[in-house]
Chain A
């Protein structure tokens, strides 16, 4: 790889892997930044599929100090933190939120600690940061609680319609058309803070107490084997044949699932933004979610938002109502269109570049 020359705006990640939301955003941002000057992505851990496209952090050698560094905060990583603290380039923080470690404590102590470390590192970076950018107002409030000032909010979406333009896989579309009952789709990694267990409870209530037979697809990476086992065990013990733990799928499959879904659901308690819900809007699907973290500002009027303190009974009721009430569905879909227009109107990419250029 050639060493970057000229005034460069480079991005730093802890880990880069294909399909990861932060990596995708960094790649999109890099394309944008390369229109103005040299721009590379540096990471401590690089998935083999991205070697060459993303450069190892150890290879970072700025030709002069006019560079600007953009750091996407995620899990804690002492080496990355040390690197950022020791450089003299102005540093911009992009905060996508770091999940509180406590969610992971029962399943992966080490990961729980890395998350906690990540939060502490974000706080201790503050003296080095010339500009803080947050995905959502919720994230901005978290940064402000750590002492950050003038946090700029830029939604993490570069092309909202991208997934909806992907050609869905025909065989998957056909397979899903054979399901005799409404399909609930939940997209996100199978992680404790996303509360798939809550959705499983919703399914139990719908089936056992409301007499509604639905299907639930839990789509997303399963990186936490203990948690994965617990969810499967929960589904098995509640004898729910309609719940499918699908795992990660490629985009043609994901597009097929979004198209075939009747409602897009999430019970997540902690989201810095939640891109799959915006994708649900682009597919014209109503949303049922819990009003936690950044979800209300992301969803707007596109979904029924269950108060955080309410349990699966109300959620199950809301899903049933959305399925049964055509005018409610139409209203939610219309709300989604309004929210999309709003997101597009805010021109996140321009906002991002403006936020960066202010500090160059």
Chain B
């Protein structure tokens, strides 16, 4: 710090005498620099080397538009002030004919040259004037452009910031709304595999239940299985040599199916079907899938099925039977991802309207016999009437748990 400095070097005088004149100090310091340069205290070219170093750090300097403009203005001015002078045109001649003849010729030529010079001078002024107008016009345009662009950028930035804020609010609202809408998809923390094992039962046992439906696709390849789950139906189709592939929304299921040699892709029903070529499919199957779709997607899927399955091809859609009230108590509402049951009459109607040649309904998964109301053994009139009532109640409560629509195009 200041008070701990070493004492002054001697060549500037002591503090006792009158204060040093600042000019003199600078002169003394300059001499000191010179001495150091001579002594090698400052190596030759030190300052230039340091400047060179910084120039290398900063890189080359490109020209800026305004310096270019200044140069242009200078050039125009020089062009404008340029004078053609006769005396800078050589009049020396080595032609024969004597000096009188030369003077006569020179006089005539001189007048012509004068005329040419005047016109050239005039043209040069016009060129200079034109270039100067061009440069001013360019400059004005650039200035006007700058102002407008900067203003527009300011405005855009403001607008963008506002819209971003709105968008953020919308995203928050959207996720709040989505969380409340049934069927908008739930984000479960548990494993889908655990859910299936708990509620759907062993894959092998399930496969047995669908063998009859698989045979409906004999000779109908390629068959698309939408929502193949654990791939039981794809396995069945492979067993009977029907070319088949499947889509699933859950990537881990797709990976697992692929590892077992099945053809599988990540995809969702409506988007995936929409991208297929018309008549690309021989068959389409959806097992316990349609009840996961929104009502709009249900009708979209049927329309797309009519477009993508070729004539003679087949569509099988199996779902929970809403005509059996037993299913509400035991099956349908177990899966939180179910949107709503699809009535067999409605689904049959959709396929018929979509232009399928035949639409058949197949009842499936009967309720175990011991679950329904037991009939009375007696043959008397009272027993008969009670049993008739039991049958009606059994039909309503304990009807088949699933149904399948088998539609042929």
Binding site for B on A (CB under 8 A): 78-79, 82, 101-102, 105-107, 109, 112-113, 116-117, 177, 179, 182-183, 197, 201, 204-205, 209, 227, 230, 233-234, 237-238, 260, 262, 301, 304-307, 310-314, 317-318, 321, 323-331, 334-335
Q: In the bound complex, how far is the Cα of B67 from the Cα of A117, in angstroms? A: 11
Which among A101, A324, A330, A334 is the interface contact of B7 at CB below 8 angstroms? A324
Q: In the bound complex, how far is the Cα of B33 from the Cα of A306, in angstroms? A: 13
Q: In the bound complex, how far is the Cα of B157 from the Cα of A45, in angstroms? A: 14
Beta-carbon nearest neighbor of A202 in chain B: B50
Beta-carbon nearest neighbor of B147 in chain A: A78
Provide the residues of chain B in CB contact with A325, threshold 8 Å. Answer: 8-9, 12
B46–A205 contact, CB under 8 A?
yes
Q: Which of B21-29, B169-177, B216-224, B333-341 binds A? A: B21-29
Q: Tell me the chain B residues, 1-22 only, with Cβ under 8 Å from chain A.
A: 1-2, 5-9, 12-15, 19-20, 22
A106–B59 contact, CB under 8 A?
yes
A262 and B1 contact, Cβ closer than 8 Å, known pairs A230-B54, A326-B15: yes
Which among A183, A306, A331 is the interface contact of B26 at CB below 8 angstroms? A306
Q: In the bound complex, how far is the Cα of B41 from the Cα of A113, in angstroms? A: 43
Provide the residues of chain B in CB contact with A306, threshold 8 Å. Answer: 26
| Residue B143 CB within 8 A of the other chain | yes
Provide the residues of chain A in CB contact with B29, threshold 8 Å. Answer: 304, 314, 317-318, 321
Binding site for A on B (CB under 8 A): 1-2, 5-9, 12-15, 19-20, 22, 25-26, 29-30, 32-33, 36-37, 41-43, 46-47, 50-51, 53-54, 57-67, 143-144, 146-147, 151
CB distance from B340 to the nearest CB of A (A): 52
A78–B146 contact, CB under 8 A?
yes
Q: In the bound complex, how far is the Cα of B143 from the Cα of A116, in angstroms? A: 12
A327 and B54 contact, Cβ closer than 8 Å, known pairs A209-B42, A313-B47: no
A313–B15 contact, CB under 8 A?
no
Which among B8, B63, B147 is the interface contact of A327 at CB below 8 angstroms? B8
Beta-carbon nearest neighbor of B37 in chain A: A313
Q: In the bound complex, how far is the Cα of B260 from the Cα of A17, in angstroms? A: 67
A116–B66 contact, CB under 8 A?
yes
Which among A109, A305, A328, A335 is the interface contact of B65 at CB below 8 angstroms? A109
A327–B25 contact, CB under 8 A?
no
Which among B6, B53, B64 is the interface contact of A113 at CB below 8 angstroms? B64
CB distance from B22 to the nearest CB of A (A): 6
CB distance from A198 to the nearest CB of B (A): 9
Q: In the bound complex, how far is the Cα of B22 from the Cα of A307, in angstroms? A: 12
8 more contacts with CB within 8 A, not counting A78-B147, A79-B147, A201-B47, are A102-B67, A106-B58, A112-B64, A313-B37, A317-B32, A318-B29, A326-B8, A330-B19
Of the A-B pairs whose beta carbons lie under 8 Å apart in the complex, a sample of 5, sorted by A's number, is: A197-B54, A313-B36, A321-B25, A331-B22, A334-B19
Which among A179, A201, A324, A331 is the interface contact of B8 at CB below 8 angstroms? A324
CB distance from A268 to the nearest CB of B (A): 16
Which among A79, A105, A304, A331 is the interface contact of B62 at CB below 8 angstroms? A105
Provide the residues of chain B in CB contact with A106, threshold 8 Å. Answer: 58-62
Which among B7, B36, B47 is the interface contact of A311 at CB below 8 angstroms? B47
Q: In the bound complex, how far is the Cα of B151 from the Cα of A53, in angstroms? A: 23
CB distance from A185 to the nearest CB of B (A): 12
Q: Which of A102, A204, A260, A314 has the most chain B CB atoms inside 10 A of its CB? A: A314
Q: In the bound complex, how far is the Cα of B65 from the Cα of A102, in angstroms? A: 11
Provide the residues of chain B in CB contact with A334, threshold 8 Å. Answer: 19
Beta-carbon nearest neighbor of A177 in chain B: B1
A105–B53 contact, CB under 8 A?
no
Beta-carbon nearest neighbor of A310 in chain B: B30
A314–B30 contact, CB under 8 A?
yes
A109 and B54 contact, Cβ closer than 8 Å, known pairs A314-B33, A318-B29: no
Beta-carbon nearest neighbor of B19 in chain A: A331
B46–A209 contact, CB under 8 A?
yes
CB distance from A315 to the nearest CB of B (A): 9
Provide the residues of chain B in CB contact with A331, threshold 8 Å. Answer: 19-20, 22
Provide the residues of chain A in CB contact with B7, threshold 8 Å. Answer: 324, 326
Beta-carbon nearest neighbor of B43 in chain A: A209
Beta-carbon nearest neighbor of B139 in chain A: A120
A182–B41 contact, CB under 8 A?
no
Beta-carbon nearest neighbor of A334 in chain B: B19
CB distance from A181 to the nearest CB of B (A): 8
Provide the residues of chain B in CB contact with A112, threshold 8 Å. Answer: 64, 66
Which among A101, A183, A237 is the interface contact of B64 at CB below 8 angstroms? A101
CB distance from A354 to the nearest CB of B (A): 33
Provide the residues of chain B in CB contact with A105, threshold 8 Å. Answer: 61-64, 67
